[in-house]
Amino acid sequence: MSEIPKLSIAGRDHLDSDLLVVGCCEGEEPPAEELAPAVAAALRRLAARAGWDGRERQRVEGEVAAGGPVVSLRGLGKRGELTARKVADWLVKVVEEAAINGCDRLALVPPDHPELTGEEAPERVARALLLAGYRFDRYRTNGERPPGRVHDIVVLPPPAAAGAYRAALPAAAAVAAGAAFCRDLANTPANEATPDWMEAEARALAASRDMRMTVLEEDELRRRGMGALLAVGAGSPQRPRLVRLDWGAAAAGPVVALVGKGVTFDTGGISIKPAADMDEMKYDKCGACTALGIARAAADLDLPVRLRVYLPLVENMPDGASYRPGDIVRCYNGKTVEILNTDAEGRMILADALAWAAEGAPDALLEYSTLTGAAVVALGHRAGAVYTPDDALAADLLGAADRAGERLWRMPLWPEYVEQMKGHHADLKNVAGRWGGANTAAAFLSQFVGDLTRWAHFDIAGAAYVGNDEEEPREATGYGVHLTVDWLRRLGDERL
């Protein structure tokens, strides 16, 4: 797994670092209280420089003394405009710049602000720092690897917040490791990350975290009538399979099913995609990667829940054996689907996985998929879409997203969208035209959860990775791990 730095908390008189970064809101004095006298004096000198007022992205630096750390005073902008998202972006930039400049040991002094020292802030800040230096560079030769990494990060919070920061570290470390694991899986290219490879990664996780694993291969999929998953995988030499992981003791608490779309590469099949940006289709497995990252973090935190993780794994390729537009496919729950577009394959493999997961009557079911371009059009790359018929579940998930610092927006799941998905010659069709495509896709999935009402579909097509149309690094984000683990932690032993 990609390397994560060591993170610790120290008193404000700490001096053992290469670089000491101090955040300061606009128009305010630098937070010099309790700092070592030499650092406090350096901060006063820096703040007195002409032009400094703490505006966003401002920076002034100077040395404390020979052999001491460099002190960097950074502007955070107006206090009232500082958000969790801005804090996270700032922390990423601080760590990246420190690494580029050869800093091995970084110390950070956050100002006393709700987004840095409030009730939910310490864990959010710790997670952001642990992941800020994430790199997926294992395919680079040594001479081509970007120089430098920050290996040790020390946070010097205000004394009143020090206890909360220390208490936040174990959970932050487990969630960050789960998110990094998710990102590593998702970033791995399709020539390595095949359904076989994904199954092996799931098996390794199961072995290391005392999980039980079941794999339904082609013969068993056929015997059970999982025609949708078989149809999508028919055009690839990589055979489809459905992996299930079970974790948690029988009396551990509520049962939560996690379903993750695992299309390891999506050409679109016979309805082939345009060539431009098709390289991004290695990310069509991000739902499965998210589910595995959540499971890893939940196990490491020993949460009082029982998890059932379902991963339909398949490659969607054009071939003489591929499923075709016009085909009619029968799914695990008996419903038939008319194929109008083979590039709407994610909802097909999820149909069988959701029906199997719902059959087990979990207390709640959460499903993650890079399902539609329409969700990206609606929300861009900063937010995920959530669909659920359960208002209480929606409120809980939106609250978890706010606490985790991940953007989530509830979208409509109206009966009209189900009507649009009715088939011409079958029960359903797998696409319903251009408009509202994310909504009709969610409505399609709703037909495979039986009588279960406490379920949610996350369309993470925009949030799961940053693609070729963005300036940021082109890579998976690990979206959904943080918010879901927060939600799971709050379930505790309470009844759902």
* C-alpha torsion 413→419→423→428, nearest 10: 30
Residue 167 host element (H or E): helix 159-187
Tokens 């001096």 correspond to 15
Distance CA 392, CA 423 (A): 32
Options 183, 347, 429, 489, the catalytic residue:
347
Of 226, 254, 247, the residue nearest 312 (C-alpha): 226
Of 82, 75, 173, which Cα lies nearest the Cα of 122? 173
| Mode of pairing for the β-strands spanning 306-316 and 255-260 | parallel
d(Cα 404, Cα 59) in Å, to the nearest integer?
28
Task: Please give the Cα distance from 264 to 241 (Å, whole number).
Answer: 12
Query: DSSP H helical segments within 108-158, as ranges?
Result: 114-117, 121-132
C-alpha 39/C-alpha 46 separation (Å) is 10
In the set 59, 273, 335, 474, the catalytic residue is 273
67 burial level (CB within 10 Å; 0-12, 13-18, 19+): exposed
Report helix, strand or coil for 309. Answer: strand
| Tokens of residue 347, six digits | 């909802």
Render the burial of 186-211: b for 16+ CB within 10 Å, e for the rest: bbbebeebbbebbbebbeebbeeeeb
Among this protein's residues, is 296 annotated catalytic? no
Terminal Cα distance for the chain, rounded: 34
Cα maximum dimension of the chain: 80
Annotation says 347 is catalytic: yes
Catalytic residues: 273, 347
